[in-house]
Amino acid sequence: ELIDKIKQLEAHNTQLKSIVQKNLQSRDETANGKAKKKHRPFDFAKCFKRHILLRFYYLGWDYQGFAAQEDSIETIEHHMFAALKKVCLIESRETSNYNRCGRTDKGVSAFHQVISLDVRSKFAPELQLDASSLTTELDYCAMLNRVLPEEIRCLAWMPMANPAYSARFDCRSRTYRYFFPRGDLNITAMEESARYLVGAHDFRNLCKMDVGNGVVSFVRSIDAISIKPSQRDSERDGSYDMMYLELRGKAFLWHQVRCIMAVLLLVGQGREEPSVVKALLDVEQNPCKPQYSMASDVPLNLYDCQFNEKSGESNGEETMGGESDLSDWIYKEEDLRRTISDLQGLWMKHSVKTTMVREMLKTLHSVLEDRFAGASPIRDQSVLLTQGVRSKEYCPLLQRQRCESLENRIEHYAKKRRIEVSVKSNDCSASGSDEPTAEHVRAGTDRNSNVDHGVSGMDN
């Protein structure tokens, strides 16, 4: 009976899979139930290809991150490739020579995301860099923007003579901005604390360690960091002013920016001394990360990317002299005007909501002052950026319960055969020269060992 029941369930499962597949195919049908006309498959064998960099922005608040996932279609990459294939610029991801500058996590946005890939061209390879060919080439941005969701827009493209040029490996720096309200934060203390972050450090206490995917080195370099005003509010106390933290570096760890921002917010609230960042960077004194909640993902934005003049420079490889691999980004005025108009529409929707909430807050602030004389003002705008439950009694970071050490995590995943570790000596100190190294690292390749996840994601 049990065997018969299992066979019944397997048959039912097969039937459900068939129904789901039919539903997916029916998405292309018109509203009145009539199927669209079947078109002949596009013959890419008759087309020329060119290698380009494609720049676009996206508002990632409602998406599951940049990278495509097996269990979700709500990713930026899924929509990008769906659009690229729909307008017949590529045949498939596998044949497109694709690389991304980096990937951002769930909820994270980007103003300057760049991908490199081979796309269809009107011109033969020997004519593709001619000025006349560039002005009359397919309008890649307009073609894609017609079929992309409104939160994702292509801004410009750049023709590349070198087909090996990679948006990922030839990116020399990435700049992130994390936007936040001033509230009652001590910005001076935050700036003092942030200065400890400049330079190369082991950031294992200021990121989420992804040892299960082979990341066992957490040394990264932050080239510059600053806190700047973004938008000033009319209120005299300035608690509704918008600020942003800006960081520039070559590569970032998983959730690195959000962890850094979480600690800086604690410093700005006066709960921690600015020197706490220095203590967290000292992995000999503090080898295990104290438990704390990250800052919200919504305000994080991959704001800018800078690229090498010649492919391979970031890897220390010798490059031949001559002209740069880079050229100017190609914008079309009509496309740019349409994109600005679309973005203004999104701004209008969100700004109207913000203004409504702001007016309600003004009224309630007045009621509080009139009815409860001497009541202290409420400036919790920035406090609410930190995720998790707030405890009534604050426990200093360095006195909190600690997470597992890096060495223990490496040993754990090595036993599970999730990673293969080669140890140079019996001393496995992760901060010394005899650090265990993973032979198979998800983000490592023969060209570079940049972390390709997290934008802390690229902090990602």
How does DSSP classify residue 138?
-
Q: In three state form, how does the secondary structure of 397-434 look? A: HHHCCECCCHHHHHHHHHHCCCCCEECCCCCCCCCCCC
Radius of gyration of the chain (CA): 26
Residues in the chain: 460
C-alpha 315/C-alpha 457 separation (Å) is 21
List strand residue ranges (DSSP E) for 2-63, in order.
48-58
Using alpha carbons, select from 143, 180, 147, 351 the residue that is nearest to residue 262: 180
Q: Among positive and negative, which fits the CA dihedral 175, 331, 63, 168?
A: negative
- In sequence order, the 6+-apart residues with CB closer than 8 A to the CB of 250 are 171, 172, 173, 174, 220, 221, 223, 314, 450
105 is catalytic: yes
Q: Among positive and negative, which fits the CA dihedral 419, 423, 426, 429?
A: negative
C-alpha 195/C-alpha 311 separation (Å) is 32
- Cβ distance 436 to 324 under 8 Å? no
- In sequence order, the 6+-apart residues with CB closer than 8 A to the CB of 199 are 221, 222
Active-site pick, 28, 62, 71, 105: 105
Q: Which residues are catalytic?
A: 105
